[in-house]
Amino acid sequence: MTWRFRDSRYEITVLNPAHRCRGVATACVDGGPVDAGAIPLINDGRTHDVRIVLGDAASRTGGLLAV
């Protein structure tokens, strides 16, 4: 999914390797971990890569995605 915030663009990918109905295991913006409940939005005119992995919060691996 592509989402625009002012002059910036966010390319959002949601992965569900465990076929879960709810919960977020990890969330990253531009390769760095972020709080899935409050993904930061920056108006810098760039394109940002957002990756969300669904699953149990307990399955988090230090906030980094192994994609």
- Structure confidence by residue, pLDDT tens digits, 33-60: 999 999 999 999 999 999 999 998 754 4
Query: How many structural domains does the chain have?
Result: 1
- Domain residue limits at 20: 2-59
pTM of the full predicted structure?
0.77
In a domain, 65, yes or no: no
- Cα 11 from Cα 2, distance rounded (Å): 5
Mean pLDDT over each residue of the chain, to the nearest integer: 87
Q: Return the SS3 of 5.
A: strand
In a domain, 16, yes or no: yes
Q: Is the pLDDT of residue 66 over 70?
A: no
Q: Is the pLDDT of residue 12 over 60?
A: yes
Q: Is the pLDDT of residue 67 over 60?
A: no
